[in-house]
Amino acid sequence: MQSIHQFRIGSINGEEIRFEAFKGKKILLVNVASECGYTTQYAQLQELYEAFENKLIVIGLPCNDFGEQEPGSHEEIRNFCDINYGVTFPLTEKINIKTRPIHSIYQWLTQKEQNGVMDSDVSWNFCKYLLDEEGRLLAFFPSSTYPAGEEILDFLH
């Protein structure tokens, strides 16, 4: 159970995202929200996705658990991301990270007993998890770490 490749999740479009499809690429998972002070990070996430498309997949996971800053429907979220940031990377269905039931992906990401690497705490929107090409957890970055910051880019160069 030390690879994220075992998971599946619904996309914001109602399709299924199978993490095993991303074998061979690094994965950056970000809990996103449309009404947050960090929402402008969508622009850098899109730039990162385009710049490293051959070796990185960015996935946004909308969540309303932090300050109720993602109140919209799936259609509203998708439209917001498209109109304001031209987002083309995958977005999942809206999930729970702090409120029950906590999505199984975030149980895995935040508990060392499941991911084999570390415990972590998602404290706000736009926290980031980076996984290697085999789906193993590499690093956790808080909201204040910008997607195009050296902390993340060092893993991609």
Catalytically active residues are 36
Which parts of 63-122 fold into alpha helices (H)? 74-85, 104-110, 112-115
Site of tokens 């508990």: 111
**What is the enclosing helix (H) or strand (E) of 38?**
none
**What is the enclosing helix (H) or strand (E) of 49?**
helix 41-51
Tokens describing residue 3:
């690879």
Please check whether residue 76 is in contact with residue 89, taking contact to mean a CB–CB distance below 8 angstroms.
Answer: no
Tokens describing residue 73:
């429907």
Site of tokens 């409120």: 99
The Cα-based distances of 148 to 57, 125, 133, 137 in angstroms read 14, 17, 19, 19
Site of tokens 């039931």: 101
